[in-house]
Amino acid sequence: MIKLTDIIREIINYEFCDYINSKNSSFEICNLLEFPVKVGTINMSIFDDIKLNYDYVLNVKKFGKLVDHYGKYQVYQFTPINDSSSFNDVFVYEDMAYAFFNYTLIEGFVQEKKIWQNRFNLGLFREIMFNYYLNKFNGVISDVAHSPKGENYWKRILTKAKNEGFDIYGLKNDVEKIPLNDINDIDKYFTSDKYKFVIEK
């Protein structure tokens, strides 16, 4: 006998497991079954639960592709099924995820969409950003939605970039690059959804 869950699992692979395992309500699960195009959204809280993190990584190893190594971490990559222009990189050590990065590539630049790092490894993703992504690509572009936590994160990132000799810009409407010669200038750009930030080699 063929079960509906087996059919859905085959269609949308491991992200179905993510939704079921992340304690979504029946309403959300019904939405998933009815509108599988939404499946690309990952409930980031799964990474903070040891069991869900472990289960997620097993599926990442099964369905994703091992594309690189960074220090002790294996880097697995997959593309969300509802966004073929986007990439998810999962930094794995001993069957646990320690960092997650969802991004797109724009003319050799990494455009940030979602970031997660293990709460006990503060600064890990900042290290990965500078020692991994900025080595591989022309630069990094921020997302446009800056929460207070996101503002603090980007202030630290841009300050480090400036101190290390990278060029930093405000990017207006995805077109106009405005040099940030004074690190204090960044504050006026956080409040507008017209601006992103750019770190360029």
Q: What is the predicted pLDDT for the residue at 16?
A: 42
DSSP secondary structure string for all residues of 68-125: EEETTEEEEEE--TT-TTEEEEEEEETTEEEEEEEEEEETTEEEEEEEEE-TTSTTHH
Q: Assess if residue 88 is contained within a domain.
A: yes
Residue 109 has pLDDT above 90, yes or no: yes
Residue 195 has pLDDT above 60, yes or no: yes
Q: What is the pLDDT of residues 143-171, one digit of tens each?
A: 876 666 777 788 889 999 999 999 999 99
Question: 43 φ, ψ to 5°?
Answer: -75, 105
Contact, 37 vs 62, CB < 8 A? no
Highest mean pLDDT among 22-31, 125-134, 188-197: 125-134
Q: Assess if residue 138 is contained within a domain.
A: no
State pTM to two decimals.
0.76
Q: What is the predicted pLDDT for the residue at 19?
A: 41
Say what percent of the chain tops pLDDT 70.
76
Q: Assess if residue 18 is contained within a domain.
A: yes
Residue 10 has pLDDT above 70, yes or no: no
Q: Assess if residue 45 is contained within a domain.
A: yes
Domain coverage including residue 83 = 1-102
Handedness of CA 44, 45, 50, 55 (dihedral sign): negative
Residue 34's pLDDT band (cuts 50, 70, 90): very low
Q: Assess if residue 160 is contained within a domain.
A: no
- How many residues are given for the chain? 201
Q: Assess if residue 139 is contained within a domain.
A: no
Q: Assess if residue 30 is contained within a domain.
A: yes
Domain count, the chain: 1
